[in-house]
Amino acid sequence: MRHFLVAAVATVALAGFGFSQARADKVELKDTHLCCPMCVKAVGEVLKGVDGVSDAACDREKKTVTFTAKDEKVAAKALKALADAGFFGSATKDGKEIKIDAQEVKKGTKADAVTVKDVHVCCMQCKKAVEGIFKDAKVSFDGKTVKIEGKDLDKADVIDALRKKGFNGTVDK
């Protein structure tokens, strides 16, 4: 009986130890614009600034960013930080799709010029990629600000087109 009691206490103690362990979430951001080492460095700097993120890595060829987040809140915070830094893609946490907290732009808001701030444009390859998205429009750059000029541009379509190519930003209202 005494051996049974010791075994039961040990089992409960070990089970409790397992529950106190922090759960880590594997996060993957696919189809992100990562054309050069400066893009990769920028992603690393962003993720380094988010407490609770570890094992950050970029695969330029696969256009993928991966990292481990100590919990769901940290995963969301890291993805928001990447979006705020001008990066975008389809995100999964432990294989399940998750939404990135980013500006939503109302469909049907049209203009002849759309300005998007905080786009990650660090080199000529980034600029060429953005210009390639908007072939029928005039595209100009001022630091991290991109201005697209054309006829009746839908602001929601502009940000959606950037996001499909792995960029993000904030559309001026």
Q: What is the pLDDT of residue 6?
A: 38
pLDDT-derived band at 173 (thresholds 50, 70, 90) equals confident
Q: Based on DSSP, count helices (H) and strands (E) in the chain, helices before strands.
A: 5, 9
pLDDT digits (tens, 9 = 90+) for 136-160: 999 999 999 999 999 999 999 999 9
CATH topology of domain 23-98: Alpha-Beta Plaits (3.30.70)
Contacts of 137 (CB under 8 A, 6+ apart): 148, 149, 150, 153
Measured in residues, the chain has a length of 173
C-alpha distances out from residue 133 to 101, 107, 137, Å: 23, 18, 9
The predicted structure's pLDDT at residue 18: 40
Amino acid letter for position 94:
D
Within the chain, all domains assigned CATH 3.30.70.100 are found at 23-98, 110-171
**CATH classification of 110-171, choosing from 3.10.20.30, 3.30.70.100, 3.90.550.10, 3.90.226.10?**
3.30.70.100
Q: At residue 126, what is the residue type?
A: C
The Cβ-side half-sphere exposure at 79, using a 13 Å CA radius, reads 30
- The answer to pTM > 0.75 is yes
**36-91 pLDDT, tens per residue?**
999 999 999 999 999 999 999 999 999 999 999 999 999 999 999 999 999 999 99
Mean pLDDT, the chain, integer: 89
